[in-house]
Chain A
Amino acid sequence: MARPFVKVITANALLEGDAIWFTQNGTWSRNIADAEVLTDEAHADIRILEAQADQSAIAGVYLADAKVTDAGPAPVHFREAFRTRGPSNYSHGKQEA
């Protein structure tokens, strides 16, 4: 059976390059837990167009697989998990704060 469609929209912040996620009210958050969970492919297509319109704040928008947890949406793939934390050799990036 195909995996159900569960996605979040993510990008990098234009100025810092930090990973960010698109929220339900059309803003960008540095925390994936605030992201809008998209479970409908057609709706996701519209939302990504809306997200892309924000060119002066973001770069490189894409849809990433996600899962829903008690704490909100969370990454599925390890690459996306790294984006929520930072590198493993120093405590830099989001984990630094």
Chain B
Amino acid sequence: MYVYNDFDEAFVRTRVAQFRAQVERRIDGSLTEDEFKPLRLMNGLYLQLHAYMLRVAVPYGTLNSAQMNKLAYLADTYDKGYGHFTTRQNIQYNWPELRDVPDMLSDLADVGMHAIQTSGNTIRNVTADHFAGAAKDEIEDPRPVAELLRQWSTDHPEFQGLPRKFKIAVTGCEADRAVIRAHDIGIQIVRNAAGEIGYKVIVGGGLGRTPMIGKVLSDFVSKADLLPYCEAIVSVYNLLGRRDNKYKARIKITLHENGIDKIQDLLNALFEQIQSLFGGFDQQLLAEIEHSFAPPAFKVKSTDGYDAARLANPAFRSWTDTNLSDHRADGYAIVSISIKKHGATPGDATSAQMRVMADLAAKYGHDELRISHEQNVILPHVHKSDLLAIYTALRAADLATANIGLISDIIACPGMDYCALATARSIPVAQEIATRFDELKLEHEVGPLKIKISGCINACGHHHVGHIGILGLDRAGVENYQITLGGDGTETTTIGERAGPGFGADEIVPAVERLVLGYLDLRMSPSETFLQAYRRLGAAPFKDILYPEKAAQNAA
């Protein structure tokens, strides 16, 4: 893992000291809220419905056990004993007091963490495949380049006042687990015909009010060119991006309004100018960073005990069937720890749970943890002979829910339970759907199904790319939920189609139940997933299930 060098350490400490002074000046009245707001946002501090919220960056979703333990410490010391993992691989604290925030940032700096650029019109936390460095299908670990981008974008003097926020995601394989086509810049590590490693660069994806799938700007950018290429993209956006209307300010709109050819021309001209200015220093830095992400020393050991335990223990077997993914090393597995217990808040972990996960990583997982954009926690490197011990410990901590990729593994934004921007609540809808399908004992029968819920049009809950997406709105002073169907956030990214009129808060869970039960009747075989059935049949039969009265009218 990357460890802060003296420069990083000094930079973060200086920022904490600056923010401490800014908070003092706000409290003594020398700064008004209007003056203070941009300063606090630069440091990840929001003011929400009931309290402040501190958003802490987890760069490319990677943590070690000391960092996870520190997050638990923060939850206990300054918050209400829990934290909320987000769809951008960050963690949010919902109840900090203003006076404590500089201490929180100082504590984070002790373990090489910060909250810088987790808000504001800057380049945000760079996200990556949560299976990075472990996935079997990976060309190269995406985290060194994500770290290079983090260093380049942090406090970049030209990019502190962009037209709007800017999000970058990186993946090291064709299978997309980082939703790169829904980011301002999506980077995929690829190999060209000559066998060299480089990057496919996708630009202008995004969800929100105007969902768009990113367009390929270049099929192959060489390693040495990536940073100047990204700088050229952000510079062109900085010049062309609209500042007159915040709803039209993201690069997806810039690209849409100007056309990809014009952007390409400007970009190429600028790239030629700045390419030489980088002088190779970035490559030297990248080499050092790559060194710190060297794979752990994987052990070679028998997995006989694991196979026997699977046969003997059905609950353990069920968990291993659902929550494990293929690892590139023999005898190893990737463990996804579900932070989606039926009826609990998606993404919320208690401090005790964080400590259990940190201990497991330290003891069995080469000291690595990941936060996934699907709001779960990953132990990326686990030898199969340790899985039973891990499962047993997770079970004791209420963390052994076997539901990864199933209907109750729901992404949900905080919604109007916390967020000042929300138009409706998301969390209770997620809780009720998960509880209902647990009662029905149907989720394993239903199979892979992604439900994603956002509490407003900004789509933090990624509803557009949910197989079933739910968008909470305010319709004449009442919560109302719109359903979209057929969305997909993987390498075959698709924006879901709106099914029809929205449902009231008491109608949305029955509507989802109707839809899922209806799918069971429509599928060709148990192996045809919801998304496959939707693609084969189109929206019509699903709309008929959602709106039976309308279907009856049409039939009459």
Taking CB atoms, residues of chain B closer than 8 Å to A93 are: 50-51
User: Please, what's the 1-or-0 string for A18-55, where 1 marks a CB less than 8 Å from any CB in chain B?
Assistant: 11000000000000000000000000000000000001
Q: Are A92 and B49 in contact (CB under 8 A)?
A: no
Say yes or no for B239: interface residue by CB 8 A criterion: no
From 44 to 97 in chain A, residues with beta carbon under 8 angstroms from any chain B beta carbon are: 55-56, 58-60, 76-79, 82-83, 86-90, 92-94
Q: Are A82 and B98 in contact (CB under 8 A)?
A: no
Cα of A78 to Cα of B455 in the assembled complex, Å:
14
Residues A15 and B29 in contact in the complex (CB < 8 Å), given A78-B479, A87-B417: no
User: Please, what's the 1-or-0 string for B399-437, where 1 marks a CB less than 8 Å from any CB in chain A?
Assistant: 000000000000000001110000001011001000000
Residues A55 and B47 in contact in the complex (CB < 8 Å), given A82-B417, A88-B425, A89-B431: no
User: Please, what's the 1-or-0 string for B302-337, where 1 marks a CB less than 8 Å from any CB in chain A?
Assistant: 000000000000000000000000000000000000
Q: Are B47 and A17 in contact (CB under 8 A)?
A: yes
**Closest B residue to A87 using CB positions:** B417
Say yes or no for B99: interface residue by CB 8 A criterion: yes
Q: Are B29 and A17 in contact (CB under 8 A)?
A: no
Q: Are B417 and A55 in contact (CB under 8 A)?
A: no
**Closest A residue to B46 using CB positions:** A17
Q: Are A60 and B33 in contact (CB under 8 A)?
A: yes
Taking CB atoms, residues of chain B closer than 8 Å to A79 are: 49, 416, 474
**Closest B residue to A59 using CB positions:** B33
Residues A59 and B50 in contact in the complex (CB < 8 Å), given A78-B478, A78-B479, A88-B428: no
> Closest approach, in angstroms, between the C-beta of B433 and any C-beta of chain A?
14
Q: Are B417 and A88 in contact (CB under 8 A)?
A: yes
> Closest approach, in angstroms, between the C-beta of B81 and any C-beta of chain A?
10
DSSP majority for the A interface?
Answer: loop
Cα of A86 to Cα of B29 in the assembled complex, Å:
28
> Closest approach, in angstroms, between the C-beta of B314 and any C-beta of chain A?
31
* A-B CB contacts (within 8 Å), total count: 75
Taking CB atoms, residues of chain A closer than 8 Å to B196 are: none
Q: Are B80 and A92 in contact (CB under 8 A)?
A: yes
Taking CB atoms, residues of chain A closer than 8 Å to B272 are: none
Taking CB atoms, residues of chain A closer than 8 Å to B478 are: 78
Q: Are B47 and A60 in contact (CB under 8 A)?
A: yes
Taking CB atoms, residues of chain A closer than 8 Å to B425 are: 88
Q: Are B28 and A56 in contact (CB under 8 A)?
A: yes
Taking CB atoms, residues of chain B closer than 8 Å to A83 are: 49-50
Say yes or no for B274: interface residue by CB 8 A criterion: no
Q: Are B97 and A12 in contact (CB under 8 A)?
A: no
Say yes or no for B372: interface residue by CB 8 A criterion: no
Q: Are A15 and B33 in contact (CB under 8 A)?
A: no
Q: When the two chains form the complex, which single residue of A16, A55, A60, A78 contacts B51, counting CB atoms closer than 8 Å?
A: A16
Say yes or no for B235: interface residue by CB 8 A criterion: no
Say yes or no for B27: interface residue by CB 8 A criterion: yes
**Closest B residue to A76 using CB positions:** B477
Cα of A15 to Cα of B179 in the assembled complex, Å:
37
Say yes or no for B345: interface residue by CB 8 A criterion: yes
Q: Are B477 and A78 in contact (CB under 8 A)?
A: yes
Q: Are A17 and B33 in contact (CB under 8 A)?
A: no
User: Please, what's the 1-or-0 string for B473-488, where 1 marks a CB less than 8 Å from any CB in chain A?
Assistant: 0100111000000000
Cα of A7 to Cα of B50 in the assembled complex, Å:
20
Say yes or no for B32: interface residue by CB 8 A criterion: yes
Residues A17 and B98 in contact in the complex (CB < 8 Å), given A82-B416, A87-B50: yes
Say yes or no for B530: interface residue by CB 8 A criterion: no
Cα of A82 to Cα of B417 in the assembled complex, Å:
7
Cα of A77 to Cα of B474 in the assembled complex, Å:
10
> Closest approach, in angstroms, between the C-beta of B386 and any C-beta of chain A?
33
Q: When the two chains form the complex, which single residue of A16, A60, A90, A94 contacts B97, counting CB atoms closer than 8 Å?
A: A16
Cα of A25 to Cα of B474 in the assembled complex, Å:
34
Taking CB atoms, residues of chain A closer than 8 Å to B52 are: 17
Cα of A12 to Cα of B48 in the assembled complex, Å:
9
Cα of A16 to Cα of B425 in the assembled complex, Å:
23
> Closest approach, in angstroms, between the C-beta of A56 and any C-beta of chain B?
3
Q: Are A14 and B27 in contact (CB under 8 A)?
A: yes
Cα of A16 to Cα of B28 in the assembled complex, Å:
15
Say yes or no for B215: interface residue by CB 8 A criterion: no
Say yes or no for B220: interface residue by CB 8 A criterion: no
Taking CB atoms, residues of chain B closer than 8 Å to A94 are: 50
Q: Are A18 and B417 in contact (CB under 8 A)?
A: no
> Closest approach, in angstroms, between the C-beta of B418 and any C-beta of chain A?
6
**Closest A residue to B418 using CB positions:** A87
Say yes or no for B237: interface residue by CB 8 A criterion: no
Q: Are B49 and A82 in contact (CB under 8 A)?
A: yes
- 14 A-B residue contacts at CB 8 Å? A14-B27, A16-B97, A17-B47, A17-B50, A19-B49, A60-B47, A76-B477, A82-B50, A83-B49, A87-B418, A89-B417, A89-B427, A90-B345, A92-B95
Q: A15-B97, A78-B479 are in contact. List 10 more A-B contacts (CB 8 A).
A: A15-B98, A15-B99, A17-B47, A17-B51, A17-B98, A59-B47, A77-B477, A89-B428, A92-B50, A94-B50
Binding site for A on B (CB under 8 A): 26-29, 32-33, 47-52, 80, 94-95, 97-99, 345, 348, 416-418, 425, 427-428, 431, 474, 477-479
